[in-house]
A and B are shown apart, each in its own frame.
Chain A
Amino acid sequence: MNAQSKPGPVDFDLSRGRVERRASTDSANAKGGHDDQVVLVPLSALAGLEKIAGHEATKQFARAIGVPLGRRVAARLGSANGVAAASLDAFVSALATELAVSGWGVLHLERWGKAMVLVVEHTPSLPAAAFAALLEGAVEAAAAREVHAVALVSGAGDNAATSTRVLIASEKTAQQAQRWLIEGMSESDVIRKLHDAAKSTGGAA
């Protein structure tokens, strides 16, 4: 790294041939670890990954991409407690920045009653389920909580969609929502039924 250069979100060290991602521009924290080193991979190589490695391996691969993003969000917001105490705008801004720097699209958050839905627009060509796994890893790493993400796509999904909607829920709720979506239920109906089920079981409002 050039001593005269100021470290940014992405640092290209041409003398060593390294590309690094940094969570903060603070020089004290800009130490660079192995998690910060990244490589530029063509998107076409990821597009055929699901066909080569399978659905589950692709999800694990995408989740592994999202975890460093969440850690950097937590580092930006101080810690996991800082993430929980942060406002929605602060959290959304921190996570959206990490996604945009990495080239995964533009993030915003929707709240449907109790349900939290993360919406990413201008996403690259990646399966919705894989992208849901990426966001799942990011939120779990940021909040230090086990969460499960379900892509709100009816049926077999739409790989060519440029917008992906992901529901953040518990494991049991995510599995139930996934079954309803496979049966052809719409996104709004799934969320409504989840609220109805929470009322019948005496869930907290």
Chain B
Amino acid sequence: MSASEQVSKLEALLERVNTRRNAPRTTAAAAAPAAHDDVIARVEATPTAVNPIVPKPAPSTPKLPDAVAAKPAAAAVPAPAPTPKPAPVAVATPAPAPVAPVAAAKPAAPAIAKAALTPEPPSVDVDVVVEEGVAEVDLEGLDEEGSDVSLRDSVADLDAVAGGSSAAEDDPAASSRRPIQVQPAAGATALADAAEAKAPHPAPPESGRQVAIPAAASGEDELLKSGVRAAPVAPPEAAAAPAPLRADVTRPALAAESPAVFHGAAPIAAPATFGELLEATLSL
């Protein structure tokens, strides 16, 4: 049964009730019409039993959009519309989205708390029509005077809870998309210019630890001071591997025959007698 058919049935029912009320009453059944009128009056005076849309704490998996579309629809179908078909407010709810990632679910927590702390809005008449993922909600009394919190805000909060589809959550900050570097690169050199431009963030410091400036590689100090990286200077090859020092010995080629000629013999003092030696030793 479509909504239009339901509305038409309700209108027909209302018209028949009005017709019976305007019809002449018989005496015999005087008590009965009186009771009937009383019933009609109570029906008119009774507000439509529609549960107000009150944000409830969402479960861990945001399926609130489905709940929003189902509960009011069950309660709104039997409710007669006192006014002829007000302009429906169409609220497009997307198809049930998959479970949002953990990073996207975190921003929903404040929204839940805010919705839970908001005062209960005044009673409103809501007609909800669900057609394959699209819910049409007729909000009567929206933004009525005296309501502290508008229903549109509540709906927006519910969308935030159930969402995960907002542009702000889908598109995180650029800095957050950069991977976090776990360990600082040990072999970072001055030649890693291009790689350093896209270098990941350093790991956040541990709580309570004094973070010092990382040890700069060769040329990093100059880079930090002047912003200009000095070109690497290659060490000279001679200093890198000094050749061992060896002596080059040149020996003379001596002649086979002796260059000197000896004649005679050196005089040897040899006393012939004991007396000569005794005189010599006593002369010392």
Q: Which residues of A contact B (CB under 8 A)?
A: 83-88, 90-91, 111, 113-116, 139, 143, 145, 147, 167-170, 173, 194-195, 197-198, 203-205
Contact = CB atoms under 8 A, between A and B. Distances in A.
Interface stretch (B53-61, B63-71, B126-134, B276-284): B276-284
A198 B279 CA distance: 13
A87 B284 contact: no
Interface centre among B269, B277, B278, B282 (most CB of A within 10 A): B282
B273 A169 contact: no
Contacts of A116: 277-278, 280-281
Contacts, number: 66
Contacts of B274: 83-84, 86-88, 90-91, 143
Contacts of A88: 271, 273-274, 277
A195 B278 contact: no
B284 A198 contact: yes
A203 B282 CA distance: 11
A168 to B, nearest CB: 5
Nearest to B280: A114
29 contacts: A84-B273, A84-B275, A84-B278, A85-B275, A86-B275, A87-B273, A87-B274, A88-B274, A111-B270, A111-B271, A113-B269, A114-B280, A114-B281, A115-B280, A116-B280, A143-B274, A143-B278, A147-B282, A167-B281, A169-B281, A173-B282, A194-B284, A195-B284, A197-B284, A198-B283, A198-B284, A203-B284, A204-B283, A205-B269
Interface residues of B, number: 14
A84 B276 CA distance: 7
Contact of B283 (A84, A91, A114, A147): A114
B272 interface: yes
A115 B275 contact: no
A36 B280 CA distance: 32
Contacts of A91: 274
A58 to B, nearest CB: 25
A85 B284 contact: no
Interface string B252-275: 000000000000000001111111
Nearest to B275: A84
A182 B55 CA distance: 123
A197 B269 CA distance: 18
B272 A87 contact: yes
Given A195-B284, A203-B284, A147 B273 contact: no
A191 B273 CA distance: 21
Given A84-B275, A86-B273, 6 more contacts: A114-B283, A114-B284, A116-B278, A139-B278, A143-B274, A198-B283
Nearest to A194: B284
Nearest to B282: A170
Interface string B137-160: 000000000000000000000000
B280 to A, nearest CB: 4
A179 B99 CA distance: 117
A150 B282 CA distance: 13
Most chain A CB neighbours (cut-off 10 Å) among B271, B275, B283, B284: B284
Contacts of A204: 280, 283
Contacts of B280: 114-116, 204
A87 B269 CA distance: 15
B278 A168 contact: yes
B269 to A, nearest CB: 7
A93 to B, nearest CB: 11
A176 B283 CA distance: 14
Contacts of B277: 88, 111, 116
Contacts of B281: 114-116, 167-169
A175 to B, nearest CB: 12
Return the 4 tightest CB-CB contacts between A and B, nearest first: A84-B275, A114-B280, A116-B281, A91-B274
Contacts of B270: 111
A93 B270 CA distance: 18
Nearest to A94: B274
B276 to A, nearest CB: 8
Nearest to B272: A87
Contacts of B273: 84-88
Contacts of B271: 88, 111
